[in-house]
Amino acid sequence: MRRSRTKGFPGGIHPEERKALTAEVPIRAARIPSRVVIPLQQHTGAPCEPLVGKGDRVKVGQKIGDSKAYVSAPIHASISGTVTGIARHPHPLGPEIMAIFIESDGEDAWAEGVGQHRDYASLSAEELRAIIREAGLVGLGGAAFPTHVKLKPPPEKKVDLLLLNGAECEPYLTSDHRLMVERPGEIAEGLRIFMKILAVERAMVGIESNKPEAIAALRKQFASEPSVEVVEMPVKYPQGSEKQLIQALTGRQVPSGGLPFDVGVVVQNVGTALAAYEAVALGKPLFERVVTVTGEAIAHPSNLLVRIGTPLEDLIAECGGLVKEAGKVVVGGPMMGLAQYSLSTPVVKGTSGVLVFPRKEGELLEEGPCIRCGRCLEACPMRLCPHLLVDSVQAGDMESAEQAHLLDCMECGSCAFVCPAKRHMVQWIKYGKSEIAARRQGK
């Protein structure tokens, strides 16, 4: 495919990539865990209700939780064995969440029909969307929004373009990169399934230029399809965010408080496209995903195909354990990921990476006062005034913070990255959002 010039987006930063630790490491299947903890909420939207109880035997791919709410996604067993309990457990996003505990029977028996090829060429868009919903698909880039909802924009919103996100702009992470290199055919077929469901005739795949093998692999897949363009993009963070990707590839700008379909676009991640292919063609629910396990404290950084619900401690052991004392374990990327307080926390659908950083002397520094240097304004891809947002939140003035578009902040961390005073920008913004939400609920 021909190379296109991207239109770019304002702001952004260039942190050290640190992808070389795993960029050339092929995906391998992690050992099947002896025990999994499967949270009843792994997605944006309503949590699931359990469909099983203590003592029930389950098989791989069996649906074990669901919700009647439209914005939700069912969950499935990732190992075969016995349900040993349903209780609250640490979740990668912080609070404890109700979860289903399963002990393995060592058989890895799959539920009937899971993993079996089927003819899907004649299925309608609605039938394909229903399969994707039942498979529990969510966005695998991190946001974990239910895929079936994204694939049904409001009828008054005319979508004419599908964007497939292969940017993977966060440092350290390479799971999407390896999927594009190793399984481009299935990703391409997943994109075609999305195009059929959305009834669009044009698609673009955005991949940053630091992934030349992935670009070549996807261009080969679409060499005879002029309706699909694979675009090489300059490396810049946070280019993988939906609004920034749309602006960089198309020049269209999603309005404040708006969504991609407001400008005629639907964005899906390359990993989600692969999962859609597996759901539709193989009847395989989303019970496993690729996770990059890396960082300077990990003995053997790897890209692992991991069963959902696997504890973080199992993944660290799978990669040879630690070579240095761990100072921080982060789920996700270093910019938008969250530090964990327990290694019993499980992998969930949105877990793209597990990063283990060595302990450093003086790492926990007190934040200093804002010096009004303006660096955060230059870095902000949403064109906000991060220092003023934080000032308002710290002063308890949530009304001013909201008027300054606090809720438009996507918490990318660019402002904190460039701040010479080391202000805890993202933490204050998260706190401000939670306060605004609480006050709205109070009213």
Pairing type for strands 81-90 and 228-233 reads unpaired
DSSP track, 50-91:
ES--TT-EE-BT-EEEE-SSSS---EE-SS-EEEEEEEEEE-
pLDDT given at position 385? 96
**R_g over Cα of the chain:** 21
Distance CA 51, CA 70 (A): 17
Q: What is the DSSP letter of 260?
A: G
DSSP E strand boundaries for 253-339: 265-269, 288-294, 302-307, 326-331, 338-339
At 399, the amino acid letter reads: E
Single-letter amino acid, residue 206: G
H/E element holding 277? helix 270-282
Residues sharing a CB contact under 8 Å with residue 118, sequence separation 6 or more, in sequence order: 281, 282, 283
In tens digits, the chain (443 residues) has pLDDT values of 444 567 899 999 999 999 999 999 999 999 999 999 999 999 999 999 999 999 999 999 999 999 999 999 999 999 999 999 999 999 998 889 999 999 999 999 999 999 999 999 999 999 999 999 999 999 998 789 999 999 999 999 999 999 999 999 999 999 999 999 999 999 999 999 999 999 999 999 999 999 999 999 999 999 999 999 999 999 999 999 999 999 999 999 999 989 999 999 999 999 999 999 999 999 999 999 999 999 999 999 999 999 999 999 999 999 999 998 888 999 999 999 999 999 999 999 999 999 999 987 555 567 899 999 999 999 999 999 999 999 999 999 999 999 999 999 999 999 999 999 999 999 999 999 999 998 888 76
Are 24 and 30 a contacting pair, CB within 8 Å? no
- Long-range contacts (CB closer than 8 Å, 24 or more residues apart) made by 427-435: 428/389, 428/390, 428/393, 428/394, 429/386, 429/389, 429/390, 429/393, 431/393, 432/389, 432/392, 432/393, 432/398, 432/401, 432/406, 433/406, 433/407, 433/409, 435/393, 435/398
Contacts of 170 (CB under 8 A, 6+ apart): 237, 238, 240, 332, 333, 334, 335, 336, 337, 352, 353
pLDDT of 362 reads: 52
Q: Using alpha carbons, select from 3, 350, 429 the residue that is nearest to residue 142.
A: 350
H/E stretch holding 430: helix 425-442
pLDDT on residue 1: 40
- Listed residue (91, 38, 60, 27) closest to 274, CA to CA: 27
Quote the tokens at residue 438: 């609480």
Cα–Cα distance between 327 and 357 in angstroms, integer?
Answer: 6
Asked if 41 contacts 97 with a C-beta cutoff of 8 angstroms, the reply is: yes
CA distance 212 to 316: 29
8-state DSSP, 237? B
Picking from 11, 8, 15, the residue whose alpha carbon sits closest to that of residue 173 is 15
Reading the block at residue 155, the tokens are 């009828």
Q: Which structure tokens are listed for 181? A: 């290199």
Which distant-in-sequence residues (6+ apart) come within 8 Å of 104 by Cβ? 32, 33, 34, 35, 36, 79, 80, 81
For the chain, how are helix, strand and coil distributed in percent, rounded to 5?
30, 20, 50
Confidence (pLDDT) at 3? 46
Q: Alpha-carbon distance 177 to 213, whole Å?
A: 9
At 38 the three-state DSSP class reads strand
Domains defined for the chain, CATH in brackets: 115-282 (3.40.50.11540), 375-442 (no CATH)
Could you tell me if 394 and 372 are in contact, meaning their C-beta atoms sit under 8 angstroms apart? no
Are the C-beta atoms of 346 and 311 separated by less than 8 Å?
A: yes
Q: What pairs with residue 261 in β-bridges?
A: none
How does DSSP classify residue 254? P
Q: For tokens 């602006």, name the residue.
A: 247
**Which CA distances in Å does 145 have to 46, 100, 242, 440?**
11, 21, 12, 23
- Cβ(349)–Cβ(286) below 8 Å: yes
